[in-house]
């Protein structure tokens, strides 16, 4: 059994800090065996991490795409996907790269796609994020119920924007195969689950305040 944090932001996201090397170091210290760096609208951090990762640590390149309907994670993609497309168009772009789409933080204000939009793509996805360390426990439980209702697999990710908090949530994969393809296969078979703990209130509060400040600085535009 291995654990991977499949939702992490690095310095390549405008609202995050920390190099891929720093994140790997933090996760290995916590006993995790892998990760996906999913920076906002760029694959640069994930591709950098693949190049520097030690052999005993799995790295899956990824991206968090700002669609017109909310955020979407894509694993195993190496090219950027345009932002502000519909969730359906974005999904097709991910699948065109043989990527693995995952819906994160379903109910989050500003960036969650919500249940109604999930219904429109449920036949083309296998997994949603059921444990996000930046979300409240009751919200994660609510999303886990949605996953069961829609017969979808689950993943976990810290959604960390600071290496110190990487690994607070993770995806559990029932395999000993230290290979990215093996992990992706289990995700696509709906055989993974998300676990972890909620990040400290102070960190979540500071993240929220920073997000609001940057929203105004961008001219009322979402990341």
The CATH number linked to 47 is 3.20.20.140
Helix (H, G, I), strand (E, B) or coil at 142: helix
Task: Name, in order, each residue with C-beta under 8 angstroms of 209's C-beta and a sequence gap of 6 or more.
Answer: none
Q: Provide the domain limits for residue 83.
A: 2-217
Which pLDDT band, with edges at 50, 70 and 90, does 110 fall under?
A: confident
Among candidate residues 55, 41, 46, the one with its CA nearest the CA of residue 10: 46
Q: Give residue 177's pLDDT.
A: 87
pLDDT at 220 over 90: no
- Asked if pLDDT for residue 206 goes beyond 90, the answer is no
- pLDDT tens per residue across span 25-35: 999 999 999 99
What residues have CB less than 8 Å from 17, skipping those under 6 apart? 11, 161, 162, 163
CA distance 15 to 105: 17
Q: Against a cut of 0.85, is the pTM above it?
A: yes
- Residue 87 burial (CB count, 10 A): 20
| pLDDT at 59 exceeding the cut of 70 | yes
210 DSSP assignment: H
Look at residue 47 and tell me if it is in a domain.
yes
Q: Locate 87 and state its tokens.
A: 């969730």
| Phi, psi for 66 (deg, rounded to 5) | -85, 100
Q: Other C-beta atoms within 10 Å of 191: how many?
A: 16
For residue 215, pLDDT over 60 is answered with no
Beta strands in 43-99 (DSSP E): 58-67, 70-75
Return the pLDDT at 218.
64
Interval 150-156 mean pLDDT: 97
pLDDT band at 72 (very low <50, low <70, confident <90, very high): very high
Cα 63 from chain centroid? 8
Is 111 contained in some domain? Answer: yes
At 214, the pLDDT band (50, 70, 90 cuts) reads low
Within-domain flag for 36: yes
Residue 150: is its pLDDT beyond 60?
A: yes
* Residue 222 included in any domain: no
Is residue 223 one of the residues assigned to a domain? Answer: no
What is the arithmetic mean of pLDDT over 47-60? 97
Into how many domains does the chain fold?
1
**Residue 96 belongs to some domain of the structure:** yes
Summarize the confidence of residues 183-189 as an average pLDDT: 97
Model confidence pLDDT, tens digit, residues 82-105: 999 999 999 999 999 999 999 999
177 belongs to a structural domain: yes
């Amino acid at each position: 059994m291995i654990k991977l944090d499949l939702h992490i932001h690095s310095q390549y996201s405008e609202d995050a800090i920390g190099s891929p090397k720093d994140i790997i170091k933090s996760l290995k210290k916590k006993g995790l065996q892998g990760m996906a760096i999913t920076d906002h609208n760029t694959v640069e951090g994930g591709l950098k991490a693949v190049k520097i990762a030690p052999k005993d640590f799995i790295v899956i390149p990824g991206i968090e795409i700002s669609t017109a309907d909310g955020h979407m994670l894509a694993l195993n993609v190496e090219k950027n996907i345009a932002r502000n497309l519909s969730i359906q168009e974005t999904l097709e772009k991910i699948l065109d790269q043989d990527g693995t789409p995952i819906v994160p933080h379903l109910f989050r204000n500003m960036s969650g796609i919500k249940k109604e939009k999930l219904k429109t793509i449920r036949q083309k996805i296998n997994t949603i994020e059921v444990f996000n360390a930046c979300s409240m426990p009751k919200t994660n439980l609510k999303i886990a119920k949605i996953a069961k209702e829609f017969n979808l697999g689950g993943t976990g990710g810290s959604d960390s924007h600071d290496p110190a908090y990487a690994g607070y949530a993770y995806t559990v994969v029932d395999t000993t195969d230290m290979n990215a393809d093996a992990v992706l296969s289990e995700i696509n078979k709906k055989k993974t689950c998300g676990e972890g703990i909620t990040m400290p209130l102070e960190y979540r509060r500071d993240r929220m305040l920073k997000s609001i400040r940057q929203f105004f600085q961008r001219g009322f535009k979402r990341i």
